[in-house]
Structures are given as structure tokens and as C-alpha cells.
Amino acid sequence: MDHHIPIDASQISIRPLGIKDLDNVLEVEELSFKYPWSREAYRYEFDENILSRYWGCFYENRLIAFAGYWLIMDEGHIANVAVHPLFRRQGVGELLMYYVMNACLMEGGEKMTLEVRAGNAAGQRLYKKMGFKAAGLRKGYYSDSNEDAVIMWVDLIHLQEEKD
């Protein structure tokens, strides 16, 4: 049985993440993925990778979701997105993704890309709803299961023009 903590969306805040958030990021990461990224990987992302930007979604001062991307020239590449299991299916991931897409656009990003597991139909539906389109397949992309990844892209400039 799924358990959720209902949230009041007006109480959500989003802010950049840094090394001080490492333990909280790892908690959400470990609860979200069978093969989580390591402490060292996130330490690198926060301290050394000049391309990375991470944002956290907080509820009552608790990190409940995070998303990170690498800004490479004019393209944002989603590195990781995770929502704490107790806060899923309430629009938190979608809210955070739109925030990250806008942050990338404001920093000069024109497009964004991501990989999603071929078997993750719910994730693919969400990304399609947000304007991402499937553009290819990476065979055996996920080393833990050799599962393929669907490559998805969104044109941030075009998406912004549609909203205006």
C-alpha cells in the first residue's frame, strides 16, 4: 500500500542546493533508486562540476525532491531527478522540473535533454506532458539492468513562446 504525506503546495519552497545539503540529498536518492549515486558523486557535483546546477524542493524545511542538470553551452542535460516516496503523485516532481527548465532558460539554455528508462512509462508520460519529445534510444544505457534509455528533448525557447 502506498503511503503519502499530503502537502499544502503553498508551503513549498525551491532553492539551489549545495554541499551543506548533501546528507539530505543522499537520503532522498537512496529512498528513490535501487542503485543510488554515491556520496562522492554528489560531492563532485556540488563542489567541482562547474556545469552542474541542483535545485531542491522543500516542504516544512525538509528536502522532499531535487533535480540537477548540467548546462553545456546552450543545452541543459538533466542529470538526476528524485522525489521522496512519501511525497510522490502530488505534482512535486512536475513543479520542480518546470522550475529547473525555467532556470535553465534564464541562464541561456535553449534546449533540455534527459534519459528515462524505457520501462518507466509514468516518467515518460510526465516528460511528454511537459513538452519533451522522444528522440532516440540508448541501448543498454543503465548498467544495473542493461535497460535501454529513451532520449527526450524539449525546445525551451519554443515552449516559452507557446506560454506567452
Give kind and range of the element (H or E) at residue 101. Answer: helix 92-106
Q: Distance between CA atoms of 4 and 144, rounded to whole angstroms?
A: 28
Concerning whether 127 is annotated as a catalytic residue, the answer is: yes
For residue 28 the three cell numbers come to 532522498
Buried b (16+ CB within 10 A) or exposed e, 57-86: bbbeeebbbbbbbbbeeebbbbbbbbbbee
Cα separation values, 154 from 40, 102, 114, 120, 157, Å:
30, 12, 9, 18, 9
Q: Distance between CA atoms of 67 and 86, rounded to whole angstroms?
A: 17
Q: Active site residue: 30, 44, 115, 142, which one? A: 115
Concerning whether 75 is annotated as a catalytic residue, the answer is: no
Cα separation values, 132 from 109, 152, 154, 158, Å:
15, 6, 4, 11
Q: Known catalytic residues?
A: 115, 127
